[in-house]
């Protein structure tokens, strides 16, 4: 994850009748040779109402967040937020589409998530993520009173990437949450 600079100016657009209330933004880019200005989708957030009501009514106050690359010609990142229900199963909350995974993108996603769930007191919540520097800063800024914990699987991957052998980790015996 990179520490990107200031977020480029975004032009908010009203959503059409089929997607009322979805926050998304367009960026403008000028084509050098033709001087034509084109708009492109820069960010998109979506969450289904049933998922929002379900996470607030029946899930534990824990949100696991992660990102994955879009490996098509369109590129970008998909940001996800899932909860843990009473049966220790994952429960989808929201997804976001951004151009690049950076501190400002995570701040936008986490702010939109918090506002969408109408959470004013972040102290009972726990946020679980991988150990990215920009993500740590974004969680501290947007969810200041929430506990921030790190995923065991991601920590193991980082440990192995550094060249260490992990011989004592047994996922079936681990009582920590995994994302």
Taking the model in full, what pTM does it have? 0.72
- Residue-level pLDDT at 28: 64
What pLDDT, in 10s, does the model give residues 119-173?
999 999 999 988 777 888 999 999 999 998 887 766 676 667 777 776 555 555 4
What pLDDT, in 10s, does the model give residues 37-96?
777 677 889 999 999 999 999 999 999 999 988 888 778 899 999 999 988 899 999 999
- Residue-level pLDDT at 162: 75
- Residue-level pLDDT at 95: 95
Confidence of residue 175 (pLDDT cuts 50, 70, 90): very low
How far is 125 from 120, CA to CA, in rounded Å? 11
Kindly provide the residue ranges of all beta strands, DSSP E only, lying in the chain, ordered along the sequence. 11-12, 24-30, 37-46, 59-69, 77-85, 90-98, 126-129, 147-150
How far is 92 from 45, CA to CA, in rounded Å? 13
Could you give the percent of the chain with pLDDT greater than 90? Answer: 39
**Residue owning tokens 């084109």:** 38
What pLDDT, in 10s, does the model give residues 77-92?
999 999 999 888 999 9
Contact present, 117 and 55 (Cβ < 8 Å): yes
Q: Which residue has the higher pLDDT, 156 or 118?
A: 118
């Amino acid at each position: 994850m990179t520490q990107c600079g200031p977020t480029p100016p975004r032009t908010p657009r009203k959503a059409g009748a089929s997607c009322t209330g979805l926050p998304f933004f367009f960026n403008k880019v000028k084509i050098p040779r033709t001087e034509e200005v084109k708009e492109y989708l820069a960010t998109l957030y979506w969450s289904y109402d049933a998922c929002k009501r379900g996470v607030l009514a029946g899930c534990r106050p824990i949100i696991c967040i992660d990102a994955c690359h879009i490996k098509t010609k369109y590129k970008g990142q998909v940001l996800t937020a899932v909860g843990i229900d009473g049966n220790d199963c994952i429960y989808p909350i929201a997804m976001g589409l951004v151009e690049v995974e950076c501190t400002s993108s995570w701040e936008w996603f986490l702010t939109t998530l918090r506002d969408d769930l109408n959470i004013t007191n972040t102290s009972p919540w726990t946020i679980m993520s991988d150990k990215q520097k920009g993500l740590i800063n974004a969680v501290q800024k947007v969810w200041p009173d929430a506990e921030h914990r790190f995923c065991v699987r991601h920590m193991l991957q980082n440990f192995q990437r550094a060249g260490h052998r992990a011989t004592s980790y047994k996922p079936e015996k681990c009582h920590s949450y995994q994302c």
